[in-house]
Structure 1
Amino acid sequence: MEPSTAPDGGAPDSDEFDWLTLDADETVVWADTPHEMSLVPAFIVGIPLSLLLVGIPILVGAYLSHRNTNYLVTTTALYRKTGVLSRNVQRIEFDKVQDTSYRQSFFGSYFGYGTVDVSTAGGTGVELSFTNVADPQALQRRINERIRTDRDTGEDRDKAAVLDDILDELRAIRTAVEGGDGGSASARADDPAADRDT
């Protein structure tokens, strides 16, 4: 399965993920499942053992795990859904991500899949792994770009909030000065800056 991407490849429809609840302004930008060739090692082990009936559970388990695993990158977070009989959904927001890395096994290098590991600030090691995804290096790059965008936007919001506070303070000072004799008593009571000046 080719990963679904956006905006160039078209945004994946979040309605197809019945397990996913998105915030109002959150959209899916990438979605995928484990690479089909990641089943090769299970078949290499499972097929010979199936003659002894031991390999059948290995094959069935690998297939069901593959079919019931989804990975998503949205505009604000990373998601991983796993589980055959039950459902486990893990979510990590970009502002909590500390580090990303990727790795590939022998088969992964040959067939073009690997694992992207995500560590969080304050976490103990890897908190979330996108296991056996196609082109893990490209996925790591996409995640790092989203993290950078999220942090830059957050810094811009922080700067804008500080500038708004300074502007409010300057307006209060101007109102106090234009009110004559330093402003009225009621203006001073409402304005903490006026109390500091007196």
Structure 2
Amino acid sequence: MELHPDEQIVFEGHPSWRAVLSFYIGGVAGALVLSVIVWLAAGFGLAILAFALLVAGVVLAGMVKRTATDYMVSTQRLYIRRGILAKKVQQTQIDRVQNVNTEQRFRDRLLRVGTVDFDTAGSDDSEFRFVGIAEPARVVAAVDNAQRNLKQPKGV
């Protein structure tokens, strides 16, 4: 993303690796169940091979899911980019942000991650969220500081 003149990045990141941990746990459990079915149907050797391939697929999918999502807060904009081959980009001006809410379910608190939800003025895009952020309070503080600095007159 190209920055505007006088624009500075105050937060940049991806979902935390801990945010995809529950995806990994579910994927490995699913791989185990499928491997047991393969073992009963075709034998132990094929079951081991199936388990290894399925776990490798789960790990790869989790890594792609995490690294294909970029979050950025600058002194002028909020920005979300998702995807590798097909891209979806969302951005809004920092002065359009009206409310910033954080959410941490029990599992999120255990994994020390959270979701930051932004309510923007006049936006039809209701899903402007940073999901799986390692330090949601840091994102909230970055947006708050950017908004305060934007409201201050230049030269003060």
TM-score (norm 2): 0.75
Say whether residues 1:131 and 2:120 are aligned partners: no
Distance 1:138 1:29, change over 3 A: closer
Unaligned runs of 5+ in 1: 1-19, 158-198
TM-score of the superposition, structure 1-length normalised?
0.61
User: What letter matches 2:91 in structure 1?
Assistant: R
CA distance in 2, matches of 1:30, 1:136: 11
Report percent identity of matched pairs. 27
Q: 1:125-179 CA distances to partner (integer Å, 9 max, x unpaired)?
A: 74411110111122112212212221x23xx47xxxxxxxxxxxxxxxxxxxxxx
Match of 2:103 in 1: 103
Question: Contact 1:119/1:125 (CA < 8 Å) preserved in 2?
Answer: no
Q: Is 1:74 aligned to 2:74, yes or no? A: yes
The number of equivalent residue pairs is 135
Residue 46 of structure 1 is matched in structure 2 by 27
* Mapped pair 1:21 → 2:33: no
Unaligned runs of 5+ in 2: 35-49
Checking the alignment, whether the CA contact within 8 Å between 1:117 and 1:126 is kept in structure 2 is no
Residue 18 (structure 2) aligns with: 37
Q: CA RMSD in A?
A: 2.2
Deviation of the 1:117 alpha carbon: 0.6
Q: Say if 2:78 and 2:93, in contact at 8 Å, map to a contact too.
A: yes
The structure 1 segments of at least 4 consecutive aligned residues displaced by more than 2 Å after TM superposition are 53-63, 123-127
Q: Which residue of structure 1 aligns with residue 83 of structure 2?
A: 83
CA-CA distance at 1:95 after TM superposition: 1.4
Q: Give, as a single letter, the amino acid of the residue that structure 1 aligns with 2:130.
A: F
Please give the alpha-carbon distance, in whole angstroms, between the structure 2 residues aligned to 1:85 and 1:77: 24
Supply the distance in 2 between the matched residues of 1:105 and 1:69 (Cα, whole angstroms).
21
Counterparts in 2 of 1:84 and 1:105: CA distance versus 1, 3 Å: farther
Report the Cα distance in structure 1 between the residues aligned to 2:123 and 2:79, rounded to whole angstroms. 17
1:72–1:79 contact (8 Å) kept in structure 2: yes
Paired amino acid for 2:15: P
Asked if the contact 1:80/1:91 (under 8 Å) is kept, the reply is yes
